[in-house]
Amino acid sequence: MFRVAADSLEAYLAFDSGRTADLEKLHAVMRKAAPSLKRHLHAGTPAGEAGMRMKMIGYGQFRYAIKSGKQTPWPVIGVALQKNYISVYVAVTRGGKPLVSCYAGKLGELRRGGNNFSFETFDDLKAPAVAALFAEAADIFKADKENPVRYMQGD
């Protein structure tokens, strides 16, 4: 796993100066499409606890119970630097399936998983479709704060 050594949002954004502009362009789309989802550094789950340890830029936040019974915070939308691309994770569903899958092939994505997509540069993306995804995710989360909790818990 690609590790970003950063202890603040500013340090994360500066970690790979060649991709800072891509992160900021994506943020501009997010800020306009989903202003209710506030940007923060998601520091990952602490060692010794269940969950993903990777750091990422988070937008919005919810808490869900992990197997130990403890609760852990997670971003509604997360943006993570990878070695050769940037990944966007969306923890929201529509009709019981991951919201990202509803936008498959429309985002300009390099690759896509059930709840995520990746791109090399912001200019590869279809910004209007990405904005629509972000806006829909924010609307779903605003209407149903438990939507991502159910998704993360596999219900």
**Euclidean distance between CA atoms 65 and 108, whole angstroms:** 34
Host H or E run for residue 20: helix 20-33
- For residue 57, is it within any domain? yes
Residue 104 lies in a domain: yes
Does 42 reside within a domain? Answer: yes
Model confidence, pTM: 0.93
Pairing of strands 56-59, 77-81: antiparallel
Domain span including residue 127: 9-153
Overall domain count for the chain? 1
67 located within any domain: yes
Evaluate whether residue 4 is within a structural domain. no
- Would you give per-residue pLDDT tens digits along the chain (155 residues)? 688 999 999 999 999 999 999 999 999 999 999 999 999 999 887 776 666 778 999 999 998 776 667 778 889 999 999 999 999 999 999 998 999 999 999 999 999 998 999 999 999 999 999 999 999 999 999 999 999 888 776 65
First-to-final CA distance of the chain: 27
